[in-house]
Structure 1
Amino acid sequence: MLNSREEVLSLTKQLVGINSIVNTEGEMVIAHSLYTLLASYPYFAENQKNLVLEQTIDDYHERYNVLAFVKGTKKSSNRTVILMGHTDTVGVGDFNQLYEYAFSPDEWMDILKNEEIPNTAREQLDSGDWLFGRGALDMKSGLSSHLFLLKYYSEHPEELEGNLVLVAECDEEDSSNGILSALKTLKKWKKEHQFEYVAAINADFVAPRYEGDKNRYVYKGTVGKLLPSFFVTGAETHVGAAFEGLDPNFVIAELTRQLSYNPELCNEAHGEVTVPPVSLKQIDLKPAYDVQTALSAFAYYNFFLHSWTPKDVLEIVTKQADIAFQNAIKIYEERYQRFCEVSGQKFQPVSWKPRVITYEEMDQMLKLTHGNTYTNHMQEFKYDLLNDETLDIRMYAARVVEEAWKWMEDKNPTIIVFNSSLYSPRIEITGKNENENVLIEALEKAVEDIQPSYEYPIVVKNFYPYISDMSFMALSDDDKDLAPVADNNPSWGSKFFVNYQDIRDINVPVINIGPYGMDAHKKLERMEMTYSLEIVPNLTNKVILTILNKG
């Protein structure tokens, strides 16, 4: 086994020491620092074209990826393994006035010794085998493992049969602009150097899946994610005459009750089940206070998938929205009737009927009705809306739907279903081709070889359960199943666009071998050093060598 612990720990502390919160200047700083570090290695000083610092494409922030490759000399081979990991982190608002220590692990752990923290965290802190700090787990220790291996083979290319490519990408924690830009460089290198990409290895964090779980997981493939979004219109009224209108907040509340935590919306594949959807935003779109009910409301929900396509999900959530709308009107009518009984007012049967349409359906309807007048107006509106820097792609999409709704002649209450964010494709590694077979066998053999060196079980699972840039290394959906991603995203082509063909052009099976720890994205984020600094690099190395030696 490679003696990796001290060097990977040193690299981890160095990277954690750089504040690289997503969508801040820190993403530039860490990329330049990483580039400078790699450029100092003799191999890259002699092979300068093998190392690049590249700004992301079509991005609203200035930030950079670092990409590098080492060509093995043991035997001439085009077989190439991609090592990938992100350089950004989430924010540190949860650290409050101690936020500066989030990036200084040793000082932060000294502070924690005198803080009230949970017993498990206390025991781990006192053990001396855990490192605390923002990014220590997610995922600077994983990236450091990759850096260690890249440096090792840059010094020992005679031990490498084939090639290693490193992708250290920015913006994983928000919109994946980093990996989507890096795909273009990977395509270019594929052509220029005849690289045959046969596998990708991500090093994102892994964690216990339940209380008392002692397993350390490695994953073949990854969960996918969509963000089904809903624009809900009601019938406005003065609150003093509440039953003369329909509050869209009431409808959207029922929609959340129908979708959030609903086990029927879990997607099972290969014996593994996604967690159900949960609400990530729920608001009305009133700009200011008055005593009129809101005209419209907006919500979106996290939606994980293992085997469902975007087309499947659109059909599923549209059906769920219809159920929620029916329930909302039924409850409304029952409460209205009871109110009339206690108040002595005359009950009038409710005339509204559930109406659920997709954004694509509404857009086509309006194009047929209003022609170029509508189309030109919306193009101009979208262009002007780009000047509002307060809008992320999700709120931008909501505003586009809101504007299009103004053109609808039938203003009866409606739920409009659309996508307002990035689609992260699911990846299933099943052995359906030679590269997948080789990767599965290499992973299983590596785990078998390494397990005796580590006390806790190392368990192989099928789907990495968190959103990561793994999703953009392969694509399972055909064009028909993928079409709703663009056709039902109001931001598509203006504020937002993904060239999924770039993913098809790389199309490499991907696994995750990452650091183990707890409380990622939280104040007590921490990683176990023995597994993360010793087992992870050696497990990854064995997979690399087995794959490349298959040539």
Structure 2
Amino acid sequence: MFWESQQQLEELVCQLVSWESRTGTEGEILFPFKLKDELVKLEYFERHPEHIALHDAGRNRNGLSALYKHGSTSRTIILMSHFDTVHTKEFGSNSHLAFSPHELGHRFKEIADDFPEEVRADILSDDYLFGRGTMDMKMGIALHMHLVEKAIAHDWPINLLLLTVPDEEVDSAGMRTAVDQLEGLAQTHDLDYALFLNSEPSFTQYPDDPNYYFYSGTIGKIMPSVLFYGVETHVGEPLRGLNAHYMASFLNQQMEFTNVFDETAYGERTPLPVTLKYYDMKADYSAQTSNHVASLYNVFAMEQNADDIFSKFHELVEDTMTQCQNHYEAICRRENTRPVGSIRTMSYQALHDYILKKHGQVKIDEIITQYIARDDLDDREKSMQITNRMLTYCKELVPLAVTLFVPPYYPAVNASEDPLVRSISGLTQEFLNSNYGIVPKEIHYFNGISDASYVSYDSHDDSWETYKANTPVWGKTYTIPFQSMQKLQVPHINIGPFGKDPHKLTERLHKQSGYEITAKLLEAVVKHCMTVTV
């Protein structure tokens, strides 16, 4: 067998890490082809080449699926993972070693005194494998390959569908496109999906956290945003206009750390909102004040949907712009001058409908097409540019704050009460405690954000229509397969290896956790799913 022993698993994860696959690079494009070549070493896939497939994820990227199918059952576990990693700028002069775990480990030993005590101890202990992707999440892929090989070798009476995708670290384009493809795979191969088994690593909850976690859900992330459109003026006559930065400052202060969107479930609480990006859309420097500023916010959710978030956000923007207007008018009274206008608040959907009535669909299509075609802009910038351009055709509305959504959107998913997940939770706690003295903790909403957001969606929830209507790039460069997600309705659990410092220079995998503990635990989970009737 190729990936059976602990030594073989270490060699495999080092090989996967060496195939650097930073998001947006050539390495990400090439990775699934290399992985396919590795998988076809197994005789099973030589005999069943139709069980391995590449799936278009856009921009020359592909996801990969590899199916082990047992003839006696349709019950299927989807082994889901992502193969892209974040970038490596923080490695500095050691960047050339970021994807060579053994060489990087030797280098870190030479400069061990440069690191904090905890990191230095881990370097010198030889208990950890350092390198970009070791923890997040090439070890997870290696463990899934290990499971598929064992299932083939021992004729396990269950189907395993290994599914690994690109782009999880940015927009999850890989998983969003894979959802529709899963339906086709199920029909082609007569598969009944019983479980999504993800193997993202166990993330710490606080600095120096020694606990091992597994996850029965994943937190939601959504980005309500505002385009502030003021009234330009010369800096020598500041009150002849209304600076968009002035407008934005009121909302930025209110949004940062607000508890308006706060949720608590299972004793867990959503992290507070923050401003993720704020920028002036005036490209050049001049003595003219800015009349258009974009502000993008990160909001986490558990049980709230897009409709809930947008309603609260829009109301908060309205209230804040009222405060801004009152403050501005007080200044005008102090300076004995007249205000240039009253600030309105309008949703993107309302703005779209206003432009439609005033100028027609052809003008809207012209505006959207103009910016969708620009490769120098990402989806967030395209959204703001579309909104900004629309406003140039209705200046009678300004000063104005337009509320909208920008990608990405990760809906919250929770399977904590699912009977199969509950039984796996019990198995995981018993297995780790009795065999290794580890007392694992179940997290009901994985706080790392993950592709698991797309494995299911409430079949009775149509709030995604609000998201669709207020996302300028919807249906052009960004979509979410909500209806396909509603059809899936498959429970999810995340059990992965222990590590530390994902996305940092000192990202590292605990070797025993990866090669032995999690490998044996995942095998126990799969065997449990073969027999359990819940």
For residue 89 of structure 1, the aligned residue among 85, 97, 109 is 85
* Match in the other structure for 1:189: 185
Gaps of 5+ in 2: none
- Trace 1:370-409 onto structure 2 (pairs within 5 A): 370=359, 372=360, 375-409=361-395
In the alignment, is the contact (CA less than 8 A) between 1:447 and 1:539 conserved in 2? no
TM superposition shift of 1:409:
4.7
* Match in the other structure for 1:64: 62
1:485 alignment partner, SS class = helix
Sort the Cα spacing of 1:409 and 1:351 in 2 relative to 1 into closer, same or farther, 3 A: closer
For residue 241 of structure 1, the aligned residue among 237, 247, 260 is 237
In 1, distance between residues paired with 2:212 and 2:175? Answer: 26
Q: Name the amino acid aligned to 1:293.
A: T
* Match in the other structure for 1:102: 98
1:368 aligns with 2:357: yes
* Match in the other structure for 2:299: 303
* Match in the other structure for 1:149: 147
In 2, distance between residues paired with 1:37 and 1:96? Answer: 31
In 1, distance between residues paired with 2:416 and 2:441? Answer: 17
User: What whole-Å deviation, never above 9, does each CA across 1:419-456 have from its counterpart, x for those lacking one?
Assistant: 1113211112143xxxx212221222232122222344
User: What whole-Å deviation, never above 9, does each CA across 1:251-271 have from its counterpart, x for those lacking one?
Assistant: 212212111222343222222
TM superposition shift of 1:287:
1.5
Gaps of 5+ in 1: 341-345
TM superposition shift of 1:537:
2.0
In 2, distance between residues paired with 1:128 and 1:271? Answer: 36
TM superposition shift of 1:27:
1.3
* Match in the other structure for 1:201: 197
User: What whole-Å deviation, never above 9, does each CA across 1:69-109 have from its counterpart, x for those lacking one?
Assistant: 11236xx2211111011111111112223211110111112
User: What whole-Å deviation, never above 9, does each CA across 1:281-322 have from its counterpart, x for those lacking one?
Assistant: 100110101111101000111111100010000011112212
* Match in the other structure for 1:140: 138
User: What whole-Å deviation, never above 9, does each CA across 1:27-84 have from its counterpart, x for those lacking one?
Assistant: 122111100000111111122211123332xx2x2112111111236xx221111101
In 2, distance between residues paired with 1:403 and 1:473? Answer: 36
TM-score (norm 1): 0.92
Stretches of 4+ aligned residues off by more than 4 angstroms: 333-337, 349-352
In the alignment, is the contact (CA less than 8 A) between 1:426 and 1:476 conserved in 2? no
1:178 aligns with 2:174: yes
1:358 aligns with 2:347: yes
* Match in the other structure for 1:251: 247
* Match in the other structure for 1:343: none
TM superposition shift of 1:15:
0.7
* Match in the other structure for 2:443: 461
1:43 alignment partner, SS class = helix
Sort the Cα spacing of 1:167 and 1:543 in 2 relative to 1 into closer, same or farther, 3 A: same
1:493 alignment partner, SS class = coil
* Match in the other structure for 1:425: 411
* Match in the other structure for 1:117: 115
Sort the Cα spacing of 1:495 and 1:53 in 2 relative to 1 into closer, same or farther, 3 A: closer
* Match in the other structure for 1:26: 27
In 2, distance between residues paired with 1:4 and 1:416? Answer: 58
Sort the Cα spacing of 1:550 and 1:332 in 2 relative to 1 into closer, same or farther, 3 A: same
- Percent of aligned pairs sharing the same letter: 27
* Match in the other structure for 2:13: 12
In the alignment, is the contact (CA less than 8 A) between 1:220 and 1:429 conserved in 2? yes
TM-score (norm 2): 0.95
Q: Name the amino acid aligned to 2:464.
A: L
Sort the Cα spacing of 1:477 and 1:263 in 2 relative to 1 into closer, same or farther, 3 A: farther
In 1, distance between residues paired with 2:459 and 2:409? Answer: 11
Q: Name the amino acid aligned to 2:355.
A: L
In 1, distance between residues paired with 2:119 and 2:141? Answer: 24
* Match in the other structure for 1:497: 479
In the alignment, is the contact (CA less than 8 A) between 1:18 and 1:30 conserved in 2? yes
User: What whole-Å deviation, never above 9, does each CA across 1:97-154 have from its counterpart, x for those lacking one?
Assistant: 3211110111112222233111111111111111111111111111111111111112
In the alignment, is the contact (CA less than 8 A) between 1:80 and 1:548 conserved in 2? no
In the alignment, is the contact (CA less than 8 A) between 2:222 and 2:298 conserved in 1? yes
In the alignment, is the contact (CA less than 8 A) between 1:234 and 1:414 conserved in 2? yes
In the alignment, is the contact (CA less than 8 A) between 1:425 and 1:476 conserved in 2? no
- Trace 1:256-275 onto structure 2 (pairs within 5 A): 256-275=252-271
Q: Which moved more, 1:24-33 or 1:236-245?
A: 236-245
